[in-house]
Amino acid sequence: MRFNSSNLKGADAGFILIFAIAVCLLLAVIGLIAGRSVQSALRETRTAVDIAQARALADGGVALGVARVQSDGDLEPVVCALPGAGAVAVSITDEAGKVPLNTDNRALLLAFFSGLGASRDEAQTAVARIFDYRDADDVAQSGGAEREAYAAAGLSFRPKNGDFESVAELDRVLGLAAAIRDRAKPHLTTAVTAGGVDGAVAADALLQLIANGAGAGGFSSAFGDRPDLPAAFSARSTRTFYRVRSIGMVEGARYVRETVIARPQRPGETLRHISWMQGELNANDEALLARGASAPPC
């Protein structure tokens, strides 16, 4: 058979052309991927910078909140902007307006858990388990749970037999329904150990749910729909413990800083931060975040 050199040259040329096109396509794809990687890296860097700036703003906002507390200033939320740097939203709450998780007032805790939607039996169980978790003995109350019950449930931890140090510690109490526990947390405090709640600084929602949980029979309503707490559930604020919650906003980045402070009560005392942690955004923040876009200068 005769070899056709012209056909071979044509085939070679075709192959080289296809190879060249393939190389070009490959280079184009590599270039595209590299370009996107650079863009992606730039975006990530930008986001990281925004988050760092939002965090710095949030921490600066804490200083603004602390200054308000120390000067007995207005405790209404503040939203203000640092031109070119973003905005900050600061809210301050007196912890005396929450239910003390370490309170000895069993009736208050019963009304509170009932108001959150627990049945009377579920509320009594929840309160018994909270007391068992805290009290020094290992003898379970009616409906409660001590060491044996925790071991039988296969838990690696046991009741603390000491006061709660944080509201998050509620997760370590055996047998609390997760839904009730999560609804309870925003209304609880470990900063204050009192026999009641100061209705003057409590959120409307908390007063309403305690009223609902207590059957509302003993409540008057001197201030419209805002229930008054009965004396058995009340304690005056010592105006010492405040939660300062500060949200830094930079472009799309948000950072939440939460701290509980103890205000000096005597000359020579200094302000103490009892806790300092990263917080999380919640549904109530939407109104504050919306104000960030057109906030006045700080």
Q: Which stretch binds Ca ion (CB under 5 A): 64-72, 124-132, 218-226, 233-241?
A: 124-132
Quote the least distance from Cβ 212 to Ca ion, whole Å. 30
Q: What are the angstrom distances between the C-alpha of 260 and each of 166, 183, 197, 205?
A: 11, 20, 17, 21
CA-based torsion, 16, 17, 18, 19: positive or negative: positive
Sketch the per residue contact string, 135 through 164, with Ca ion: x for CB under 5 A, - otherwise: x-----------------------x-x---
- Segment near Ca ion (CB under 5 A); pick from 78-86, 129-137, 195-203, 255-263: 129-137
Buried b (16+ CB within 10 A) or exposed e, 251-270: eebbbbbbbbbbbeeeeeee
Q: Cα–Cα distance between 23 and 63 in angstroms, integer?
A: 60
Question: What's the min distance (Å) between Cβ of 118 and Ca ion?
Answer: 21
Between 52 and 149, name the residue whose CB sits nearer to Ca ion.
149
- HSE-CB for 56 with a 13 A CA cutoff: 10
Residues 6+ away with beta carbon under 8 Å from 209: 112, 115, 116, 187
Name the minimum Å distance from CB 114 to Ca ion: 23
Residue with tokens 């200033």: 73
Amino acid residing at 142: S
Binding residue count for Ca ion, defined by CB under 5 A: 4
* 169 touches Ca ion (CB under 5 A): no
How far is it, in rounded angstroms, from Cα 187 to Cα 170? Answer: 13
Cβ 148 to Ca ion shortest distance, Å: 11
47 lies in the site for Ca ion, by CB under 5 A: no
Residue nearest Ca ion, Cβ-based: 135
Least distance between Ca ion and beta carbon 128 (Å):
11
* 102 lines the binding site for Ca ion (CB under 5 A): no
- Judged by CB under 5 A, the residue of 94, 132, 198, 285 near Ca ion is 132
Minimum CB distance to Ca ion smaller for 95 or for 132: 132
> Rounded to an integer, what distance in angstroms lies between the CA atom of residue 52 and that of residue 44?
12
Using rule CB under 5 A, residue 193 touches Ca ion:
no
Q: How many other β-carbons are positioned within 10 Å of the β-carbon of residue 12?
A: 10
- Answer yes or no whether residue 234 interacts with Ca ion by CB under 5 A: no
With contacts defined by CB under 5 A, name the span among 134-142, 205-213, 226-234, 255-263 that binds Ca ion.
Answer: 134-142
CA atoms within 13 A on the CB side of 26: 6
Site residues (CB under 5 A) for Ca ion?
Answer: 132, 135, 159, 161
